[in-house]
Amino acid sequence: DIQMTQSPASLSASLGETVSIECLASEDIYSNLAWYQQKPGKSPQLLIYYASSLQDGVPSRFSGSESGTQYSLEINSLQPEDEGDYFCQQSYKFPYTFGAGTKLELK
């Protein structure tokens, strides 16, 4: 199975700051990487797909990038509604696998 190593596990940042979350794939996944946001008690929501494509309706302060097997989610100008858990997921090979998640809290 492809392992998705996500870091950091938790993150605390202030309003207006820029943060970055990383996912390292154990093998090449050819940009087949998505990012999801999950708020407490809610279902995950798609933010980014194919490494850097922004899902419709997602604010442009969210962006995705890649470098080799390392994928990043950047959130600019943090807003209160950005608090939550973030997961990466590869869809290149079965079984599809997720990162362990990053909990983002606002100071």
Binding site for other proteins (CB under 8 A): 1, 32, 34, 36, 43-46, 49-50, 55-56, 87, 89, 91, 94-101
Tell me, rounded to whole angstroms, the distance of Cα 80 from its chain centroid: 17
Q: Is 2 helix (H, G, I), strand (E, B) or coil?
A: coil
To other proteins, the closest distance from the beta carbon of 16 in angstroms equals 29
Cβ 14 to other proteins shortest distance, Å = 26
Residue 1 structure tokens: 């199975």
Q: How far is the CB of 2 from other proteins (least distance, A)?
A: 11
Q: What is the DSSP code string of 22-76? A: EEEESS--TT-EEEEEE-TTS--EEEEETTTEEPTTS-TTEEEEEETTEEEEEE-
Q: Which is nearer to other proteins, 20 or 55 (CB)?
A: 55
Specify the residue, 14 or 56, whose C-beta has the smaller distance to other proteins. Answer: 56
